[in-house]
Structure 1
Amino acid sequence: MKDTNFLKENNARHMWHPMAHPADSLNNPPDIIVEGDGVEITDVDGKRTVDAVGGLWNVNLGYSCQPVKDAIAAQLNRLPYYSTFRGTSNDAVIELSFMLKEFFAADGLTRAFYTSGGSDSVEVALRLARQYHKVRGEGSRVKYLSLKKGYHGTHTLGASVNGNSNFRTQYEPLMPGCFHIPAPYPYRNPFDETDPERLAQLCLSALEDEIAFQGAETIAAFIMEPVLGAGGVIPPHPSFMPAMREICDRHGILLIADEVITAFGRTGDWTGSRHWGVQPDLMCTAKAITNGYFPFGAVMVSERLVETFEADKTGKAAIASGYTYSGHPVGAAAAIACLTETERLQVKDNARDRGAQLFAGLEALKAKYDVVGDVRGGHGLMCALELVSDRATKKPIDKETIGRVHRETYEAGTMVRVSGPNIILSPPLVLSEAHVQTILHSLDAGLSAA
């Protein structure tokens, strides 16, 4: 590693950081993280903190998962790369595909198509949805529906179904044929409805209205996160996703579950869709599939689509999509080891228990600080605080103040993520009760600064 002075002098000077204004990064240099161990990270000055961001929702097993590191090293020594384009495969990706078929059996998903990450997975799923309808002779089904506040990556098609203007306006016009309905977000919604069950019904009615307006015969798919993540950790009412599934079925529309964040135990179950008893037609995965140790993702495909594609005799089912690193053997080896550890440790159970502890602690902080307008979570280790300058008007907190909360929380021992007025918490799924207390103690110190 270069010396500390070199790193600080060159910090943000020769790169642009994702999701940041270049000038902000220059004026407020990012924290330089140089080590990770367990659920803790260490910065260039030697400050050690609990990582309540979990890398970026993905380091479920922590930073010292030796079986995954060993699997990567062994695969690099044996076969560091080979293509999975038509005509070739590799042993690691064949083994992984069998494991994923077993893992997602309860979700009705039996085939995998490999990508390099979450945005890729969303792009492929949206493409496959259109292709499915074309194979079936319904080529008019080309439109997409999604939720406002939903996040589906940064590719142009994924950004087009994104429901947050922060990820859209700088790059518009985006893809035509993408339409959004209100999210089941009790704290802020156009209906001024605070009852989650009633709000779910209003959003579903808006969906039915949009389908009628667009024409069901023109719509390929509806895409949603089972629990909205980057939009502020918004869990829908339990009635919402099952009713969404029924509406899609009734109108011949595919349901895509974007589980890039929620799959592999984050929500306290193996997938977010299982919380609501729903089997999607397509599922987007990435992030925790390799614990963040290797860029890798997979689109999981339901048996209904499998039968249509594999029975095709016209050639329309040929998949004209793929990436140089689709099914990368090192990524596949990492995923095999990661999936093995994920199941061995039953991390979903710890996510459920520690998530309940964290959520209860956040509720206590809300009672203590007026700056906390809303607390969301209750499904594993996905939680958020929405900060406001006035509870009565719900006016969002200003950027300077939430920046101060973030900095004081970090100084007190915990790295958190700020997204708009939200402090988002997504720590590794292997954290302990003591780590949860550290997070709450740090947030207490940070909120007191506001």
Structure 2
Amino acid sequence: MKDSNFLKENNAKFLWHPMGHPGQLRTNTPTIITGASGVRIRDIDGHETIDAVGGLWNVNLGYSCDPVKQAITGQLDALPYYSAFAGTSNNAAIELSYELQDWFGSDGLTRAFFTSGGSDSVETALRLARQFHKVRGETGRTKFLSLKKGYHGTHMGGASVNGNNRFRTAYEPLLPGCYHIPAPYTYRNPFNESDPAKLAELCAQALEDEIAFQGAETIAAFIMEPVLGAGGIIPPHESFMPKVRDICSRNGILLIADEVITGFGRTGDWSGSRHWGVKPDMMCLAKAITNGYFPFGAVMITNEVAETFEKDETGTANIGHGYTYSAHPVGAAAALACLSETKRLNVSENAAARGREMFSGVQQLMKKHALVGDVRGGHGLMTAVELVEDRDTRKPAGKPIASAVAKTAYENGVMVRVSGNNILLSPPLIIGSDDVQHIISGLDAGLSAAA
């Protein structure tokens, strides 16, 4: 590796970073992370912090998960790559498909299509949803519905169903036929409704109204995160996703659960959908499936949807979609080891317990700091702190304020993520109580400095 002077001198000169302005990053250069262990990361100057971002929602098992590392190196020695396009397969991918149907079989999800990550998984689900209806002879079902504030990756289809204009406006026009309904976001919603149960009913009614307006026979699928993540960690009322499931079923619309963030324990259950007692028609997975150690994802598909494809005799069900790295043997081997460790450590249970501690601690900060307008979470290790300039008007705090909070928190040993006027917390699921308190202390320092 080049020395630190070389790395600092060339930081952001030739590398464009996701989710950042390339010109601004040349002057306000990114933090260079050079090492990690457990739940901590270390920068180029040797400064160590707790990673309260969890990589990017994905390092559930921390940075020292030897079984996953060993699985990767072992598979590289045996078979580093081969295509999984029709005609060839590999042992790791076959084993992983069996493991995943065992994991999600109780939800009716028994078939897997492997991808290279979350955006790929969303794109795959959208395409398969349209194809499903065509195989059934309902060729008019091409539209997609989703939630405002929802995040579904950055491919053209995913950006089109995204409900946040930060990921849309610079790239429009996007995919036609994508429509959004209000999110069950109690702090900000067009109904001015603060009661979560009433808001869930209003949002569900908005979905029914949109279906009636568009025509159910034109809609392929509704896609949603069981808990909205990048849009600001917005957990709906427990009644909302079941209502959506019922509405979709009555109208012949597929329900796609985007579990890229919420899958494998983040919410305190093995999936966000299961947390609400809902069985989706498709489920998008990625991130924690390999603990972030290898780019990999999957779409899980129900028996009912799968049988429509598998029983087709017209050729319409031939899947003309896939990626060079679909079912990559190294990724599949990493996933197998990761899922084994995820079960062995029962991280969902720890996520639930530590999540309650983190949420409670951040709620106490709201009493102390006027800068905090809202705190959201309480479902596993997912917590958001929404910053405002004024609590009465709820005017969002500017990005410089959120960045100032994050900077001081980092100086105090805690890496947090800024998303708009929100501070997002999503640490590894193996985190302990002492580290949760360290996160709270670091955030406290950041809020004090910004104020």
TM-score range, shorter chain: over 0.9
The alignment of Structure 1 onto Structure 2 pairs a total of residues equal to 450
Aligned to 1:278: 278
Q: Percent identity?
A: 70
SS at match of 2:357: helix
Q: For 2:14, give the aligned amino acid.
A: H
Q: For 1:284, give the aligned amino acid.
A: C
Aligned to 2:10: 10
Q: For 2:69, give the aligned amino acid.
A: K
1:365 aligns with 2:365: yes
Deviations 1:140-180 (A, max 9, x none): 00000000000000000110000000000000000100000
SS at match of 1:449: helix
Q: Aligned equivalents of 1:138 and 1:274: distance in 2?
A: 29
Aligned to 1:383: 383
Aligned to 2:133: 133
Q: For 1:142, give the aligned amino acid.
A: T
Aligned to 1:62: 62
SS at match of 2:388: strand
Aligned to 1:101: 101
Aligned to 2:143: 143
Deviations 1:179-212 (A, max 9, x none): 0000000000011111111111111111111000
1:447 aligns with 2:435: no
Q: Aligned equivalents of 1:26 and 1:432: distance in 2?
A: 37
TM-fit CA distance, 1:61: 0.3
Aligned to 1:193: 193
Aligned to 2:83: 83
Q: For 2:228, give the aligned amino acid.
A: L
Q: Aligned equivalents of 1:309 and 1:46: distance in 2?
A: 54
Aligned to 2:39: 39
Aligned to 2:423: 423
SS at match of 2:179: strand
Aligned to 1:165: 165
Aligned to 1:298: 298
Aligned to 2:182: 182
Structure 1 residue ranges (4+ consecutive) displaced by more than 4 angstroms after TM superposition:
none
After TM superposition, the score normalised by the length of structure 1 is: 1.00
TM-fit CA distance, 1:24: 1.9
Aligned to 2:412: 412
Q: Aligned equivalents of 2:210 and 2:281: distance in 1?
A: 21
Q: Aligned equivalents of 1:285 and 1:20: distance in 2?
A: 25
Aligned to 1:223: 223
SS at match of 2:188: coil
Deviations 1:12-65 (A, max 9, x none): 111111000112211211110000100000000000000000000000000010
TM-fit CA distance, 1:105: 1.4
Aligned to 2:156: 156
Aligned to 1:398: 398
1:325 aligns with 2:322: no
Q: For 1:14, give the aligned amino acid.
A: F
Q: Aligned equivalents of 1:175 and 1:19: distance in 2?
A: 21
Deviations 1:292-338 (A, max 9, x none): 00000000001110111111111111111000000000000000000
Deviations 1:203-253 (A, max 9, x none): 111111100000000000000000000000000000000000000000000
Aligned to 2:315: 315
1:346 aligns with 2:351: no
SS at match of 1:379: coil
SS at match of 1:49: strand
1:207 aligns with 2:200: no
Q: For 1:90, give the aligned amino acid.
A: N
Deviations 1:253-281 (A, max 9, x none): 00000000000000000000001100000
Aligned to 1:26: 26
Q: For 2:4, give the aligned amino acid.
A: T
Q: For 1:377, give the aligned amino acid.
A: G
Deviations 1:407-441 (A, max 9, x none): 00000010000000000001000011111011001
Q: For 1:124, give the aligned amino acid.
A: T
Q: Aligned equivalents of 2:190 and 2:419: distance in 1?
A: 21
Q: Aligned equivalents of 1:400 and 1:124: distance in 2?
A: 37
Q: Aligned equivalents of 1:234 and 1:269: distance in 2?
A: 17
After TM superposition, the score normalised by the length of structure 2 is: 0.99
RMSD of aligned alpha carbons: 0.5
1:236 aligns with 2:222: no
Q: For 1:416, give the aligned amino acid.
A: V
Q: For 2:445, give the aligned amino acid.
A: A
SS at match of 2:255: strand
Q: For 1:227, give the aligned amino acid.
A: V
SS at match of 1:424: strand
In structure 2, list runs of 5 or more residues that go unmatched: none
Q: For 2:306, give the aligned amino acid.
A: V
SS at match of 2:247: helix
Q: Aligned equivalents of 1:382 and 1:402: distance in 2?
A: 18
Q: Aligned equivalents of 1:401 and 1:263: distance in 2?
A: 32
Q: Aligned equivalents of 2:425 and 2:441: distance in 1?
A: 14
Q: Aligned equivalents of 1:448 and 1:395: distance in 2?
A: 19
SS at match of 1:436: helix
SS at match of 2:418: strand
Q: Aligned equivalents of 1:131 and 1:439: distance in 2?
A: 46
Q: Aligned equivalents of 2:87 and 2:20: distance in 1?
A: 42
Q: Aligned equivalents of 1:438 and 1:65: distance in 2?
A: 22
Q: Aligned equivalents of 1:370 and 1:181: distance in 2?
A: 31
Q: Aligned equivalents of 1:348 and 1:189: distance in 2?
A: 31
TM-fit CA distance, 1:399: 1.8
TM-fit CA distance, 1:106: 2.2
Q: For 1:363, give the aligned amino acid.
A: Q
TM-fit CA distance, 1:402: 1.4
Aligned to 2:52: 52
